[in-house]
Copies of this chain bind each other. A is one copy, B any other.
């Protein structure tokens, strides 16, 4: 997977927390990328009604409270898929071999079970959880 998902989480934290509204340019500076990459991400987040452009003003507005916005919702918006895909299965096992004929549904089931557990983890984590962990991380590093 590319880094759009973690960049989207970073973007959402900025939109949620920044005192002054941030433009794509401002966000790009913090994420460490270019504004067009951020615009692609904000476009996808808008499409799923997670954020909107502020009316008659610069920057964006979060439409879902951070405690209700799960990482799974962010993932779905950014990857444009409902499924986390971890494992690929070989496409052409030989139907004339007894193993070849039956392995795909079995592997598919097993892999899907694992992928669903990963999806569940993302469903159980909200943007607020990430921000709370970041605050703890900040306190820890300030104490050093």
Contacts and interface: CB of A to CB of B under 8 A. Distances in A.
Interface residues of A, number: 53
A122 B94 CA distance: 25
A81 interface: no
Contact of A133 (B29, B97, B110, B133): B110
Interface string A109-124: 1110110011001100
Given A3-B89, A3-B90, A118-B114, A99 B33 contact: no
Interface string A86-104: 1111111110011111110
Given A30-B99, A33-B90, 4 more contacts: A1-B88, A30-B97, A32-B92, A84-B86
9 contacts: A1-B88, A30-B93, A30-B99, A32-B92, A98-B138, A101-B141, A102-B137, A106-B137, A109-B133
